[in-house]
Amino acid sequence: MISIISLCRHPESNAVQKGNIAKTAGAAYEYLVIDGSKGPYRIAPAYNWAVKQAKGEVLVFIHDDCYFMNMNWGVPLAAKFANDPLLGVAGVAGTQYLFADKSSWTAAGRPFVKGRIVYHLQNGDFFGAFFSNEKGDHEVVACDGCCMAVRAELFKTLRFDEQTFQGAHFYDIDFCLQARGMARLIVTNDLTIKKRSQPVFDDEWQKAGELFLQKHTENLPASCVDTVPDPAKFLSSQMVNLKGKYSMETIC
């Protein structure tokens, strides 16, 4: 079974996400919702609490403004973990290289970043951030936390660092670096996520990034490839306007 875990700030987004999962999962699941409307938006402690309640062999952590765009995604996801005992984390976007002095997981640029995220913003913009165009699964060192599947067994020894990361940033990349010593991490194209907001790189994000670099001084740089990215040759992800090419309606 898959346990889907979400910290929801608004009842409306919770209702839509619940319907979306029911329509698209295609596999046995439970949906665990943490009420985030009455206090600070602290993802790490909320997720740690939910892990203790979860019954699934695979735990999918998903942001409250994210929705699945493909049908029956639970089937191939569960199969990946069942068929590969070394697989620990599977995400929709991530990187094969993390710098020792740059906190953003996208800093390595293409071809080191993998996956894709579709954005459907409140102003009507509908576009895809294509970090790579290759199909299939790709080994990475870290996954974006907007949608991240984790083998439940890892939580026997690991947990999200709620002391260091108090808000909504870098709890995911930190967890991935913890998991690297125990399991494989991949980005898979079998999951496509639509997100209703873009990342905000504000002071809170900057501060969390500094804490991340300080914590992982001995673990960075982190790489699963032989080539070291050259910052002077940085290639950003491709932003593609999807209006008229894909349905903008949320499946639910």
Q: Residue range 128-141: average pLDDT?
A: 96
Structure tokens at 57: 């062999």
Q: Is the pLDDT of residue 13 over 80?
A: no
Biggest distance spanned by C-alpha atoms of the chain: 47
The pLDDT of residue 229 is above 90: yes
Q: Is the pLDDT of residue 246 over 80?
A: yes
pLDDT (mean) for 73-93: 98
Share of the chain above pLDDT 90, in %: 92
Q: Average pLDDT, stretch 200-207?
A: 94
Cα torsion 81, 136, 31, 148: sign: positive
pLDDT for the residue numbered 41: 76
pLDDT digits (tens, 9 = 90+) for 46-77: 999 999 999 999 999 999 999 999 999 999 99
Interval 4-32 mean pLDDT: 92
d(CA 70, CA 23): 10
| Domains along the sequence of the chain with CATH | 2-241 (3.90.550.10)
pLDDT recorded at residue 40: 74
pLDDT at 38: 78
Query: For position 37, what pLDDT does the model report?
Result: 81
pLDDT mean over 135-157: 97
The mean pLDDT value for 97-114 works out to 98
Mean pLDDT for 230-237 is: 96
Question: Average pLDDT, whole number, for the chain?
Answer: 96
CA atoms of 99 and 77, how far apart (whole Å): 29
Residues 6+ apart with CB under 8 A from 222: 97, 98, 141, 142, 177, 180, 216
At 30, which helix (H) or strand (E)?
A: strand 29-35
Provide mean pLDDT across the span 1-28.
92
Whether 115 has a pLDDT exceeding 80, the answer reads yes
What pLDDT sits at residue 30?
Answer: 98
Q: Which two tokens stand for residue 104?
A: 């953003």
For β-strands 137-139 and 184-188, DSSP reports them as antiparallel
Beta bridge partners of 7: 34
